A = this chain, B = another copy of it.
C-alpha cells in the first residue's frame, strides 16, 4: 500500500488587497500518526468564510493571525480515522476546526460529534453551525427585533444573512435583504420569504432601498460595510441597533479611502439618533449554543428556515473558492468537498 499523502494549504504570503492564488501554497506531507491522547481526522468538508481574510493579515484582531507557512484555519466536518482518546471512535462524523488539510491530528478539544440522522452533516458548517449561530446571537442579543419593526440584512443570501432574514420573519418583523445580483435577490424573496431584496450593485442603491423601508430601519445586521452601510445609515430610526458582524467590503482594503473624513459624522449620527453599534463574534456568546440549537434546529427541520449550499470540489480549489467568496461570486454557504462522505 502506498504511503497516504496529506495535502495541505499553507499561507504563503500576506495578501496586499485582494488575495491571489500565489498567497497560498499547496503542499503534500505524510499523513500523521496519532499519538497517545490524539485523534486522526479525515476532512470531508471545509467551510469557507469571510473572516478568513482577516486571519491572513498581520496585526491584532479578535483572533490570532495565521502565520506565513502555517496551515490556513477553518471549520471542518471530518471523519474519525483513529482515536486514542474517548469518546471518539473510528467512523464518527464530527465538527472540528482543523483547517485547510486533508488529514489532521487533534486532542479532541472543541470537537463535537454529529448525528447524521438529525440533519445533513454539512449543516454543522452553515445553518446549524458557526454562521447560523452568528446570525442568531447577533440578532437576538444585539438586534433585539420586536414584531412590527424593520430589519435590514446585508449579504442576505449568504450563510449568515439568510438566517438573519428568516429569523426576522419568524419574529414578526418586516425583513429586507440586500444582495448582489438579480438571482440572489429573487432567491431571498421567493425562497427565503423576505419582504423585499435590493441589489447592492445598483448605482441608486440608497434610492432603491428607501421605499422598501417605508417606516425606516430599526435593526441593521452589518455584514459588509462600504456603500451598503452608506445607504442604510440615513434610514436608521432613532434607537436603531446595528450588530456589526462583518465588513467584507473592507477586508481587502490596504489603505483608508479618500476623504472627506466621515468619522465625526458617524459619531454625530450615533449621538442624535441614539444608535447602538456593537461588534461581536459568535464565540462571545459560546455559552448560548444549546439555546441556539433548541430554537433554530426545529425551524430548520420544519422548513421555516431554509438554506443553500455552494460546493467546491477538492481542496486544491479552496483558494479560488475563497477568492470568489470575497468577491461575492458564491451563492449560499460555501463548502469545499475535500473527500467523499461515504466510506472510501
Contact = CB atoms under 8 A, between A and B. Distances in A.
Interface of A: 54, 60-62, 222, 225-226, 229, 238-239, 244-247, 249-250, 253, 255-268, 270-281, 284
B284 A279 contact: no
A64 to B, nearest CB: 12
27 contacts: A61-B272, A222-B267, A225-B264, A229-B267, A244-B271, A249-B264, A250-B264, A255-B260, A256-B260, A256-B261, A257-B260, A258-B259, A259-B259, A259-B261, A261-B263, A262-B262, A263-B265, A263-B266, A266-B266, A270-B278, A274-B279, A275-B277, A275-B278, A275-B279, A276-B276, A276-B278, A278-B278
Contact of A261 (B245, B247, B249, B261): B261
Given A62-B273, A272-B279, A262 B261 contact: yes
Contacts of A259: 256-261
Contacts of A261: 256-263
Residue with the greatest number of chain B CB neighbours at <10 A, chosen from A266, A270, A271: A271
Which 4 pairs of residues, A with B, have the shortest CB-CB distance? A259-B259, A256-B260, A271-B279, A262-B263
Contacts of A271: 62, 244-247, 279
Contact of A253 (B225, B255, B264): B264
Given A60-B272, A256-B260, A276-B276, 19 more contacts: A54-B272, A62-B238, A62-B272, A222-B267, A225-B264, A247-B267, A249-B264, A255-B260, A256-B259, A256-B265, A259-B260, A261-B262, A263-B266, A266-B266, A270-B279, A274-B280, A274-B284, A275-B277, A275-B279
Contact of A264 (B256, B264, B272, B275): B256
Contacts of A281: 274
Nearest to A263: B262
Contacts of A263: 261-263, 265-266
A240 to B, nearest CB: 10
A279 B256 CA distance: 25
Contacts of A257: 259-261, 264
Nearest to A271: B279
Nearest to A60: B272
A254 to B, nearest CB: 12
A329 B255 CA distance: 38
Nearest to A278: B276
A264 B60 CA distance: 17
A308 B262 CA distance: 36
A226 to B, nearest CB: 7
A278 B142 CA distance: 12
Contacts of A270: 244, 277-279
A239 to B, nearest CB: 8
